[in-house]
Structure 1
Amino acid sequence: MSQPAPTPQQVRRALARAERGAALDVAEATVLLAVRGEDLDRLCAAAAKVRDAGLVAAGRPGVVTYSPKVFIPITRLCRDRCHYCTFVETPAQAAREGREPFLSPDEILAIAAQGAQLGCLEALFTLGDRPEDRWPEAAAWLESRGYDSTLSYVRAMAIRV
């Protein structure tokens, strides 16, 4: 179900509050998700002002830092059914794509090595919550390789990487 378009008055109010640096509530933030054109330019300017003030307060004006990282999707299976999630898949979806329930150790190391070659300093493992609780295929895959849980597999892979 889509939300109705925000009224011009709602947009003006939310933008004015953002430009003043006021804390926005969920409704105001939602209104600002829909802005385009000049309103988007105003919102970006307000966001830059907040960012720059935060950098000054942190003692590093004008310095935006980041840590290059590689994402390693250990598994896309999950026990939960969050309908907003676009990451999770079922074992049937994985099989149709020719994938096992989990990345193999060799696949994980290859992704980590490629990330390192590209200058990544961190490896972030992405995974669903205890897929073995919901999917027999996940439990069987782990068991056949000597792991009693997804977390024990993640720990072993973290050590390898």
Structure 2
Amino acid sequence: MIPDADEYGIDLAVDDDAVERLLAATPADVDPAPELSFARNVFLPLTTACRYTCTYCTYYDPPGRASLMRPEEVREVCRTGADAGCTEALFTFGDDPDDRYTEIHDQLAEWGHDSIHSYLREACEIALEEGLLPHSNPGDQTREQMGLVADVNASMGVMLETTAEVRAHAGPRGKSPGQRLDTIRTAGELGVPFTTGILVGIGETWRDRAESLLAIRAMHERYGHVQEVIVQPVVGNERWRGDTPALDALRRAVAMARVALPEEVGVQVPPNLAPVRDLLDCGIDDLGGVSPVTDDYINPEYAWPALRELESIADEAGVPLRERLPVYERFVPGWLSPRVRRAIEAEGAAGRRYRAVLSD
């Protein structure tokens, strides 16, 4: 039973036989992908405030130290990214700041916003003006919150992480698997192309991993909106004192994801957090968003690889490396809002850049 599923009306039933089949999956059961893809992005940490206090996360700052990017900073980073050939503005922030973050709420109010999602909409509009397609990862969202920003995003995402209750999420402000699945469902109901994933090594069991992947598959089968699933290992940092998954465990987890998911759903492993070269035969087909301009602010100790490193990885695999947009190509006709479609079809430099990526 998925914790808190009833509270959010999640009616997913994970079949025990399917779990057992997935637990038996190994890298020998999958084929290497015929190509690898990546997106060229800029990373914009809109705020470091977060109502959660996960023990593996260095992204959030406590009240009194959390910050907000100013609109002019957002514009400057987006403009720099567009000049560098990027197509994606990746907006991330901790889940809705709670009442402890008085200064964050006061700053939002001073800028004319009653919520972080209202400000996210302004930031996405800035990105579109500067020639980038927004992809937002704002954590758990209600239908109202996602509806406020869906039309100014090419795609959105949230990591499911796990359907299990784990100590790393414990405490009075712990994450709820039911709420995460509710966010993924909401994206499906609103027709938002969506990225999600599992976090490997935070205290979950192999059965938990299988059940998490099958829950994602069930959501995709219902709505058709999941574009990729990230298999991300937890990595050492100043807050995480646990182990990092061994290579054999990571290889098995990636292969399980490829076996569990439909062919059209991509399997991504972040190349700055995992030994991608040792996973090329396990079914990965995407290397995620990589920035020539900004850091990985969620994992600042782990630098993005340069494009030439991605090319080297693809060469080692003997497959082509293809740049993609933040929204997978199959979603471009029929799924995107008029606002985002106009951006892709525009005659200016940004539109030409988007279409060049699509036709690559």
TM class by shorter-chain length? Answer: 0.5 to 0.7
Q: What is the aligned partner in structure 2 of residue 139 from structure 1?
A: 105
| Secondary structure of residue in 1 paired with 2:112 | coil
Q: Partner of 2:47 in structure 1?
A: 75
Are 1:149 and 2:121 counterparts? no
Question: Structure 2 counterpart of 1:130, which letter?
Answer: D
What is the distance in 1 between the residues matched to 2:61 and 2:96? 13
Give me the CA root mean square deviation. Answer: 2.2
Superposed displacement of residue 93, structure 1:
3.1
Tell me which residue corresponds to 1:93. 65
After superposing the two structures, state which structure 1 stretch, 125-134 or 106-115, moved more.
125-134
Check the 8 A contact 2:49/2:61 in 1, yes or no: yes
Distance, in Å, in 1 between the alignment partners of 2:48 and 2:69 is: 9
Hey, what does 2:69 align to over in structure 1? 103
Rg comparison, structure with higher value: 1
Task: Describe the superposition over 1:70-103 as per-residue Cα deviations: whole angstroms up to 9, x where unpaired.
Answer: 1101011111221221111124335xxxxxx211
Letter of the 2:25 partner, please give it: A
One-letter amino acid matched to 2:45: P
Between the aligned partners of 2:38 and 2:74, the Cα distance in structure 1 is 23
2:65 match: secondary structure: helix
Aligned equivalents of 1:154 and 1:72: distance in 2?
Answer: 11
Q: TM-score, normalised by structure 1?
A: 0.58
Unaligned runs of 5+ in 1: 1-21, 25-45, 56-60, 95-100
Please name the residue that 1:130 is paired with: 96
**Residue correspondences, number:** 104
**How far is the alpha carbon of 1:66 from its aligned partner?**
1.1
State the one-letter code of the partner of 1:157.
A
Aligned partner of residue 51 in structure 2, secondary structure: coil
1:65 alignment counterpart: 37
- The equivalent residue for 1:41 is none
Task: Give the superposition deviation at 1:133.
Answer: 3.3
1:2-81 equivalences in 2 (<5 Å) = 23=25, 50=30, 53-55=31-33, 61=34, 63-81=35-53
Identity among equivalent positions (%) equals 39
Whether the 8 Å contact between 1:78 and 1:134 is mirrored in structure 2 is no
In 1, distance between residues paired with 2:98 and 2:106? 8
Please give the secondary structure, in 2, of the residue aligned with 1:93.
coil
Structure 2: distance between partners of 1:68 and 1:134: 35
Shift of 1:114: 1.4
1:156 shift after superposition: 1.1
Q: Distance in 1 between matches of 2:41 and 2:99?
A: 29
Q: Which amino acid aligns with 1:89?
A: D
- CA drift of 1:115 comes to 1.4
**TM (normalized to structure 2)?**
0.27
* Secondary structure in 2 matching 1:131: coil
CA distance in 2, matches of 1:160, 1:89: 25
SS in 1 for 2:91: strand
- 2:47·2:93 contact (CA, 8 Å) conserved in 1? yes
Q: Residue type of the partner of 2:62?
A: T
Gaps of 5+ in 2: 1-23, 128-360
Secondary structure at the residue paired with 2:95?
A: coil
Q: Distance in 1 between matches of 2:47 and 2:54?
A: 16
* CA deviation after TM superposition for structure 1 residue 148, in Å: 0.3
Instruction: State the distance in 2 between where 1:140 and 1:124 align.
Output: 25
Picking from 62, 84, 90, the partner of 1:118 is: 84
